[in-house]
């Protein structure tokens, strides 16, 4: 099962990826998470990506494509994968088509998460992310049992939540604008795919998961 999630920041791609990962044991490939790890480890890619991310801009295509090319060649990809946040531009979509062909891989589902801008701004500026496992909760869940669940990357304690720099109000607007300009053509690129699904991402995450799961089971 190889799946693609396309949608604006805050549309629920990461949340659904984690649910699918738990259910099916597939690999979650989030280019945003990969860049944040690279930044924390101060690698060359991390240093290059940081300025773009802080400004809410996209990292150059060549950098992202190389990152994904290397990752898709790892052996765990055979378990199936979810691509979350890649491709985000037309050249990235073309590069992915070529790469999948080269590796003999196929996409079993392309899910487009549609959410209006007001809700995205509300969700992004109110979300908190675990600095270890990248789990996301909303501000009003802090202090509740959901927030205190054990962290998957820190077996001795709960998640440690923080606000991502790019989830601050001024950067959020910019990220949504960049998405609208640069990622809209990617949706059209996949619309003709027979496994393309247009989801209402404003629904409750459990409802969204039911729809995705039903589609996966049917295909």
**Residue with smaller CB distance to ligand AMP, 54 or 102:** 54
Query: What kind and span of H or E run contains 28?
Result: strand 27-30
Give the shortest CB-65-to-ligand AMP separation in angstroms.
9
**Which of 36, 123, 127, 128 is an active site residue?**
127
Catalytic-residue membership of 217: no
**Which of 18, 128, 135, 164 is an active site residue?**
164
Which among 67, 59, 69 has a CA at the least distance from the CA of 97? 69
Which distant-in-sequence residues (6+ apart) come within 8 Å of 217 by Cβ? none
Asked if residue 68 lies in contact with residue 31, where contact means CB atoms within 8 angstroms, the answer is yes
Give the shortest CB-91-to-ligand AMP separation in angstroms.
10
**Measured at CB, which residue is nearest to ligand AMP?**
32
**Residue with smaller CB distance to ligand AMP, 54 or 101:** 54
- The residues that touch ligand AMP, with contacts defined as CB under 6 A, are 9, 30-32, 35, 52-53, 56-59, 64, 85-86, 88, 92, 166, 175
Return d(Cα 63, Cα 66) in angstroms, integer.
5
Give the shortest CB-219-to-ligand AMP separation in angstroms.
25
Q: Please list, residue by residue across 61-80, b when 16 or more beta carbons sit within 10 angstroms of its beta carbon and e when fewer do.
A: bebbbebbeebbeeeebeeb
Residues with a catalytic annotation lie at: 13, 88, 127, 164, 175
């Amino acid at each position: 099962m190889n799946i693609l999630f396309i949608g604006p920041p805050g549309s629920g791609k990461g949340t659904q990826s984690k649910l699918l990962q738990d259910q099916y044991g597939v690999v979650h490939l989030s280019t945003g998470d990969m860049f944040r790890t690279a930044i924390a480890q101060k690698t060359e890619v991390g240093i290059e990506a940081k300025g773009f991310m802080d400004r809410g801009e996209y990292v150059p295509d060549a950098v992202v494509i190389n990152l994904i090319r290397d990752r898709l060649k790892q052996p765990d990809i055979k378990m199936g994968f979810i691509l979350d946040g890649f491709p985000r531009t037309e050249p990235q979509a073309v590069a992915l088509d070529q790469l999948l062909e080269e590796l003999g891989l196929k996409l079993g589902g392309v899910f487009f998460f549609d959410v209006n801008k007001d809700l995205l701004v509300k969700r992004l500026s109110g979300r908190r992310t675990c600095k270890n496992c990248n789990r996301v909760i909303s501000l009003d869940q802090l202090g509740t049992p959901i927030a205190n669940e054990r962290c998957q990357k820190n077996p001795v304690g709960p998640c440690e939540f923080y606000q991502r720099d790019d989830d601050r109000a001024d950067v959020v607007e910019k990220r949504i604008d960049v998405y609208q300009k640069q990622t809209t053509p990617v949706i059209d690129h996949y619309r003709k795919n027979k496994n393309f699904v247009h989801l209402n991402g404003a629904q409750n995450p459990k409802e969204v998961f039911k729809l995705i799961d039903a589609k996966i089971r049917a295909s």
